[in-house]
Amino acid sequence: MNSKKPSALVVFSGGQDSTTCLYWARERFERVVALSFTYGQKHIDEVRLAEQLAREAGVEWHCIDLPFVGSLSSGCSLTDTSLTIEAEKPADAPPSTFVPGRNMFFLSIAAVFARERGIHDLVTGVGQTDFSGYPDCRDAFIKSLNVTLNLAMDDEFRIHTPLMWLDKAETWALADELGIYPIIRYRTLTCYNGIVGDGCGQCPACQLRRRGLEKYLAAKGMKDAKKQMQS
């Protein structure tokens, strides 16, 4: 008996987290739709890669241009070409890569887009454990927005956050469990400087990704060694 639910929409950037969520959704839903956004981001190659990854996964892909998201605020190094991306987050402020309202806008528009297609399950790759100082990645925000969307459209949406309580090492482990470790390792674009795979190695996203990978590979190595000793 097929226990999969009918449909889900994944907010999809082509990065490590959203690609892991795309395949997580494929395991649980009959139909998966991926929705990407352009908003003036420097690493625009992520959108072209997102389309390619979605097509290869057999997932319907769409993209919406939201130039206002990047233009509303100043001082964001992801959208302002005059600014460089800092390697370390300031101690008393959000990182320079924080785009105010981004996840709020993305999920709100995704909900309207999904509703028009009879979809009520939304999937996003945000996580609170390694949230890097982004307030719109926290569980309280997601739960609050879920209530707001339901009230705003008098409907019943469900926002799924498979990575909410996973650190990056555990996210790598999930990708391996899903059988997509090579895709995540070599094909996704997490780097703020737009370099696929292991990235530039210097920006905060690359540093977080690398630390998680090293932790996961170390744990996996110990686990494999233990198995060999027991066999």
Q: What phi and psi, each to the nearest 5 degrees, are found at residue 9? A: -115, 130
Q: What's the pLDDT score for residue 91?
A: 64
The encoded tokens of residue 167 equal 């650190």
Q: What are the angstrom distances between the C-alpha of 231 and each of 152, 175, 220?
A: 58, 26, 17
Residue indicated by tokens 């993305």: 106
Give the mean pLDDT of 14-42.
96
d(CA 194, CA 229): 42
What is the reported pTM?
A: 0.92
Buried b (16+ CB within 10 A) or exposed e, 20-42: bbbbbbbeebebbbbbbbebbbb
Give the count of alpha carbons within 13 A of 88, CB side only. Answer: 3
Give the long-range contacts of residues 93-97, CB within 8 A, separation 24 or more.
Answer: 94/133, 94/134, 94/135, 95/132, 95/133, 95/134, 95/204, 97/192, 97/203, 97/204, 97/205
Higher pLDDT, 96 or 106: 106
The encoded tokens of residue 30 equal 């009959």
Q: What's the pLDDT score for residue 172?
A: 98
- The closest of 158, 102, 110, 171 to 134, measured between CA atoms, is 102
Residue indicated by tokens 């233009």: 71
d(CA 171, CA 71): 32
Label residue 137 by pLDDT band (50, 70, 90).
very high
Higher pLDDT, 193 or 18: 18
Residue 231 has pLDDT above 80, yes or no: no
Residue indicated by tokens 């009230």: 151
d(CA 170, CA 13): 20
Give the mean pLDDT of 142-151.
98
d(CA 146, CA 152): 10
d(CA 23, CA 20): 5
Q: What's the pLDDT score for residue 80?
A: 85
Residue 165 has pLDDT above 80, yes or no: yes
CATH at 168: 3.40.50.620
Percent of the chain whose predicted confidence (pLDDT) is above 90: 74
Q: What's the pLDDT score for residue 74?
A: 82
Q: What's the pLDDT score for residue 151?
A: 98
Give the mean pLDDT of 218-230.
79
Angle, to 10 degrees, between the axis of helix 102-115 and the axis of helix 139-153? 40
Label residue 201 by pLDDT band (50, 70, 90).
very high
Residue 224 has pLDDT above 90, yes or no: no
Residue 85 has pLDDT above 90, yes or no: no
What is the number of domains present in the chain? 1
Residue 90 has pLDDT above 80, yes or no: no
Identify the domain containing residue 138 by its residue range. 5-230
Q: What's the pLDDT score for residue 196?
A: 97
The enclosing H or E element of 207 equals helix 204-230
For the segment 180-190, what is each residue's pLDDT rounded down to a tens digit?
A: 999 999 999 99
Label residue 86 by pLDDT band (50, 70, 90).
confident
Label residue 83 by pLDDT band (50, 70, 90).
confident
Q: Are 148 and 112 within 8 A, CB to CB?
A: no
Residue 143 has pLDDT above 70, yes or no: yes
For the segment 30-64, what is each residue's pLDDT rounded down to a tens digit?
A: 999 999 999 999 888 899 999 999 999 999 999 99
